[in-house]
Structure 1
Amino acid sequence: MQRAAYLVEAELIGSFAIPALQEDLETLQNSDEIFYGYWIDHRLAGAISYKKEGGLLDIYRLMVHPRYFRRGIGKALVSFVEGVEEGIERIIVSTGARNLPAKKLYEGLGFRDIGEREVIAGLWITHFEKCKRF
């Protein structure tokens, strides 16, 4: 599912240098990220992973299988994580600068664009953050 989702992003941003496209199952299993999945009819339709350190929640991956695009799965996964983790003061996430659907999703969820950065030659990412007010 990860490969299918990130191949779509690679096409959108014009670069196949996305690290997630180079990972295998063993790499994912050995990561120290927290994962949640979104299932439809016993099929994994989407997933989110993140790390939490103190009041900071860093979303590492948000992926939806292309078969399930535009069904609110990404929004549901981010909202779920916001609700399940306590003590979050700030959430950060990044996406390809030319990935307009992802950027629109994060902005719709209340994230603000905090800038772009070229991570390798020709590959730009946009960073987002959301500060929680309690």
Structure 2
Amino acid sequence: MIKKFDFQNMNLVRALFNLQRASYLVEAKLINFFEIPPLKESMEELIESRETFFGYFIGEELAGAISFTNDNNELTICRMVVDPNHFRKGIAQALLKFIEKEHPDLTMMKVSTGKDNAPAKSFYLKNGFILVGDLEVVPGLYISNFENRKNEPR
């Protein structure tokens, strides 16, 4: 089940905090960079985020989450996290499709991931995103930027 995140529920906030750390630690190892902002973020910073969050639940367990911002129907995915114990079960796919369905008037979706994060890059390419370029964000670390243009309102 996918539902909007309730930041009043501190047990759920802790679960999200731990989930994103576990998920981003996998990416950090893939790209050999351990300063990914969500790995450094405090629970307070997570709570104060201006992103919209949805969680993917298996029963009561938070197994994945997506966050985004939406500016004039241009949606930027800020976080896509899945519990490593639930990788390759279609959770990221379900979250992405849910967001697309919830926002039928999108003109574009954007997302970034570490250039060396092959699983994430493959996922976005498979879902209609195109690589628009790589950007060196700190010496030696490149981020791949993707866009999925929606040519006409749905």
Same-fold status (TM-score > 0.5): yes
Aligned length: 134
> 1:54, 1:93 → 2: CA distance?
16
1:117 equivalent among 135, 141, 147: 135
What are the residue-to-residue correspondences of 1:56-95 with 2, within 5 Å? 56-95=74-113
Q: Does 1:104 align with 2:146?
A: no
Whole-Å separation in 2 of the counterparts to 1:2 and 1:26: 14
Percent identity over the alignment? 46
Shift of 1:55: 2.0
Q: Deviations over 1:96-129 (max 9, x none)?
A: 0000000010001000000100111121110000
SS of 2:93 mapped into structure 1: helix
**Is residue 3 of structure 1 aligned with residue 4 of structure 2?**
no
Distance in 2, matches of 1:83 and 1:100, equals: 26
Structure 2 partner of 1:130: 148
Q: Secondary structure at the residue paired with 1:104? A: helix
> 1:42 — aligned with what?
60
* 1:33-55 superposed Cα distances (whole Å, 9 cap, x missing partner): 00000011211000000000002
TM-score (norm 2): 0.85
Q: Distance in 2 between the 1:94 and 1:20 partners? A: 14
CA root-mean-square deviation: 0.8
After superposition, the C-alpha distances for 1:49-91 in whole angstroms (9 at most, x for unaligned) are 0000002100000000101000011111111101102421000
Moved segments of 4+, more than 2 Å:
none
Distance in 1 of aligned mates of 2:95 and 2:139: 31
CA distance in 2, matches of 1:102, 1:119: 18
AA aligned to 1:129 is E
